[in-house]
Amino acid sequence: MPSFHGSCAHDHDCEAQDCSSAWSLYQHIDTQRVRCLNEAVEGSCRKVFKPWHLRLETSSGTQLDSEEDDPELLLHVPFDGAVKLTGITVIGGPDGASPSKLKVYINRDDLDFATVADLPAVQEWELLENYSGQIEHPMHAAKFSGVHSIDLHFPANFGAARTTVTFIGLRGEFTERKRQAVEAVYESKPMPQASTDHKVPEQQGAGWNLGM
């Protein structure tokens, strides 16, 4: 699929106007199942999905770093339901550590670096160094509807020995929760009264109601 290199800056100051509702999809990420290949500290990938007002936190415990001398990262991000994605913003590290490219895949659970090397992305961008979150990369809404998981591939950065990501914001709409396991509820039907006109069946059928 063709690349999409577009980006746009917000048309207002998010410090003066609350942008938290626009970037609230982090609440629907199944955080405990987020994982990342080539992260220097296991589980650190979960720390970059956070509320908008915390996006500028840059302490070592709240950022994602790749392994030294290997800038590539591949995150798997599942949601707790279906979402429609319309935009993404990525805040990276200073001194060339910000990711310079992003490829996105949807509804896959089997990706690794070898797979994405040959697999066309649903959409991809050439990123800009973005230290405040003011740069948004629009997503093709028609391609990002009914999304239950996304994979974010950062293949390179701006020249540093490792890639650093401190915040990933997702804009869009939460549409539905995953269907829960179907529970069958057995309800016995009362036996009809005996009469001289009607024969009582030897076995009365049972009804099954499916509940969510």
Q: What is the CATH number of the domain that holds 55?
A: 2.60.120.470
> What long-range pairs does 113-119 form, CB within 8 A, spacing at least 24?
113/37, 113/38, 113/72, 113/74, 116/74, 116/151, 116/153
pLDDT attached to residue 59: 77
Which of 13-22, 49-58, 128-137, 196-205 has the lowest average pLDDT? 196-205
pLDDT-derived band of residue 188, with 50, 70 and 90 as boundaries? Answer: very low
- What proportion of the chain, given as a percentage, has pLDDT over 90? 64
Higher pLDDT, 43 or 22: 43
List beta partners, residue 78. 149
DSSP tag of 94: T
Query: What is the span of the domain harbouring residue 149?
Result: 8-177
Task: Confirm whether 204 is domain-assigned.
Answer: no
Specify if 89 maps to a domain.
Answer: yes
Instruction: With respect to residue 140, please indicate whether it lies within any of the assigned structural domains.
Output: yes
Please check whether residue 145 lies inside any domain of the structure: yes
Question: pLDDT at position 176, please?
Answer: 77
Q: How far apart are CA 195 and CA 202, in angstroms?
A: 14
In a domain, 185, yes or no: no
Mean pLDDT, all residues of the chain = 82
Give the pLDDT confidence score for residue 96 in this predicted structure: 98
Token pair 């910000």 is found at: 98
Task: Indicate if the pLDDT at residue 118 is higher than 60.
Answer: yes
Burial of 205 (0-12, 13-18, 19+ CB in 10 A): exposed
pTM of the model: 0.77
Q: Per the structure, how many domains does the chain have?
A: 1
- Whole-angstrom Cα distance, residue 22 to residue 124? 22
Q: Name the residue with higher pLDDT: 211 or 27.
A: 27
- Antiparallel, parallel or unpaired: β 101-106 and 123-126: antiparallel
pLDDT higher than threshold 60 for residue 44 = yes
| Minimum mean pLDDT range among 8-22, 165-179, 198-212 | 198-212
**H-helix or E-strand spanning residue 118:** helix 113-118
In-domain check, residue 34: yes
The residues with which 65 forms a beta bridge, in sequence order, are 164
Per-residue b/e over 75-113, b at no fewer than 16 CB within 10 Å? bbbbbeebbbbbbbbbbbbeebbbbbebbbbbeeeebee
Asked if residue 105 lies in contact with residue 197, where contact means CB atoms within 8 angstroms, the answer is no
Position 187 in a domain? no
27 found inside a domain: yes
In angstroms, how far is CA 113 from the centroid of its own chain?
Answer: 19
Q: Does residue 44 sit in helix, strand or coil?
A: helix
Q: Which of 76, 49, 71, 89 is nearest to 164 (CA)?
A: 71
Average pLDDT over residues 135-162: 96
Q: What is the pLDDT of residue 4?
A: 45
- Average pLDDT, integer, range 62-79: 97
CB contact at 8 A, 106 and 145 = no
